[in-house]
Amino acid sequence: MLFMQTLRGFGIAVGFIVLTAAFVPAQWLALRFKSSLADTLPVAFARGLCALIGIRVETFGRPCREKGVLLACNHTSYLDMPVLAAVTPVCFVAKAEVGRWPYFGTLSRLVRTVFVERERRSKAGEQRDAIQERLESGGTIVLFPEGTSNDGNRVLGFKSSLLGSANSMVRDANGQQRRVLVQPVSLAYTRLHGMPMGREFRPFFAWYGDMELVPHLWQAFCLGPIDVMVHYHPPLTIDQFPSRKELTAECERLVAAGVTHALSGRPGAVGPAYEDEPIAIAPIQDRYGRDFD
Residue 248 lies in a domain: yes
| 283: in domain | no
Which residues lie across from 143 on neighbouring strands?
A: 72
| pLDDT single digits (tens) 48-68 | 999 999 999 999 989 998 888
- DSSP-derived secondary structure letter, 236: B
The partner residues of 291 in beta bridges, in order of sequence, read 285
Domain range for 92 is: 2-167+178-265
The DSSP string of 72-103 is EE----TTHHHHHHTTS--EEEEEGGGGGSTT
Cα end-to-end span (Å), the chain: 58
Give the per-residue pLDDT at 279: 38
- Mean of pLDDT over the chain: 85
Question: What are the backbone dihedrals phi and psi of residue 11, each rounded to the nearest 5 degrees, phi first?
Answer: -60, -40
- Per the domain annotation, does 172 fall within a domain? no
For the chain, the domain total comes to 1
pTM for this predicted structure: 0.88
Question: pLDDT band at 151, cuts 50/70/90?
Answer: confident
Taking only the tens place, the pLDDT of each residue in 197-220 is 877 787 778 888 778 888 888 888
Distance of CA 270 to the CA centre of its chain: 20
- Reported as a single tens digit per residue, the pLDDT across 5-15 is 899 999 999 99
Whether 204 maps to a domain, the answer reads yes
Other CB atoms closer than 10 Å to residue 12's CB: what's the count? 19
Domain for residue 86, yes or no? Answer: yes
Cα–Cα nearest to 183, from 289, 48, 101, 62: 62
Residue 30 domain-assigned (yes or no): yes
278, part of any domain: no
Backbone angles phi, psi at 195, to 5 degrees: -110, 150
